[in-house]
Amino acid sequence: MESSNLGSVPEETLEEQHQQDSSKPVFSAFASRPDRPPTQSSSQKYSPLDWAAYFDREEDVCISDSNDVFHLYMAGKEGPVVFCLHGGGYSGLSFALSAGKIKEKARVVAMDLRGHGKSSTENDLDLSIETMCNDVFAVLNALYGDSPPAIVLVGHSMGGSVAVHVAAKKTLRSLAGLVVVDVVEGTAMASLIHMQKILSNRMQHFSSIEKAIEWSVRGGSLRNIDSARVSIPTTLSYDDSKQCYVYRARLEETEQYWRGWYEGLSEKFLSCPVPKVLLLAGTDRLDRSQDLVGEHSHDLEFYGLTFKFLQFLFFSF
């Protein structure tokens, strides 16, 4: 092939063709820059998401003979109740992404624990394990009375310890399963001496909710951006004197209760007389709980909660 055949088309030829048929525009690979996806500003990327995209409704439960009011997020219409307890410093909306999936198979109730989220109690700093367990029993009684449906307790971190203690009491007759996410006695107890430093080193004040969401993702406390966008707003309150957002839960003032959350947790977990699943980020320091990992996962399948489905719970945090 002669080299002359490889030359570019003269511009005059293109212009003549265009004049002959103006309805056929001439395209060139260099006529314009390639389209780029629109970029999001930081405020857009980390803007809050509405919980209603995941839950069906919210409800306040007033506890009789007290001024305690617990806030709940609820979804689903039938099946067993997956009762969710969040970790320290978070809220019931930590389970939002999970609830969007669980409600296809079961009912979901995610509770704002004492001193967290939109719940309001006479003593928000009393985070003793006994008090929090009593709160769970009081809420379940207010919701279902003496005839509760089948209940699967799901707890993450601090909420996991509450779930274990509730199950270990063996007084919730309709308890059908227990799911504990990312908490083991040995690791938790060893971490307690570092908790005050961790709490003091985190960002304390935020000029906007968007900044708080961004910090939680960039700082690694939450890996899923959508989970952060829906859950972080309820972990904050606005401080008029400082004119900024601060953490709703004052965890640094509850140190006297921390040991009680986790002490003896492995033994209590093993003693729970229901099918149970332990979901962990790693296998370090499993204690005796390792004997039960996955052992009863198949027992929950008749409630539509397969092990793969339960894994989605973990990755939502």
- pLDDT, one tens digit per residue, over 122-175 is 999 999 999 999 999 999 999 999 999 999 999 999 999 999 999 999 999 999
Q: Structure tokens of 261?
A: 């959350």
Residue 27 placed within a domain:
no
How many distinct structural domains can be found in the chain?
A: 1
Buried b / exposed e over 193-229, threshold 16 CB at 10 Å, is eeeeeebeeeeeebeebbbbbbbbbeeeebeeeebbb
In the predicted model, is pLDDT for residue 71 greater than 60?
Answer: yes
Residue 4 placed within a domain:
no
For the chain, the farthest-separated pair of C-alpha atoms sits apart, in whole angstroms, at 98
Could you tell me if 51 and 73 are in contact, meaning their C-beta atoms sit under 8 angstroms apart? Answer: yes
pLDDT attached to residue 36:
58
pLDDT attached to residue 249:
97
pLDDT averaged over every residue in the chain? 83
Place of tokens 């009680």: 260
Buried b / exposed e over 142-175, threshold 16 CB at 10 Å, is ebeeeebeebbbbbbbbbbbbbbbbbbeeebeeb
In the predicted model, is pLDDT for residue 8 greater than 80?
Answer: no
pLDDT attached to residue 284:
54
pLDDT attached to residue 312:
47
Q: What is the 3-state secondary structure (H, E, C) of 50-110?
A: CHHHCCCEEEEEECCCCCCEEEEEEECCCCCEEEEECCCCCCHHHHHHHHHHHCCCCEEEE
Domain span at 294: 55-315
What is the C-alpha to C-alpha distance for residues 95 and 97, in angstroms, rounded to an integer?
A: 6
pLDDT attached to residue 279:
87
In the predicted model, is pLDDT for residue 287 greater than 70?
Answer: no
pLDDT attached to residue 281:
72
Residue 265 placed within a domain:
yes
Residue 113 placed within a domain:
yes
Could you tell me if 71 and 112 are in contact, meaning their C-beta atoms sit under 8 angstroms apart? Answer: yes
CATH code: domain of residue 173: 3.40.50.1820
Residue 44 placed within a domain:
no
Residue 36 placed within a domain:
no
Reported confidence tier of residue 220, pLDDT bands at 50, 70, 90 = confident
In the predicted model, is pLDDT for residue 258 greater than 80?
Answer: yes
Residue 244 placed within a domain:
yes
Element counts in the chain: helices (H) and strands (E): 11, 9
Residue 48 placed within a domain:
no
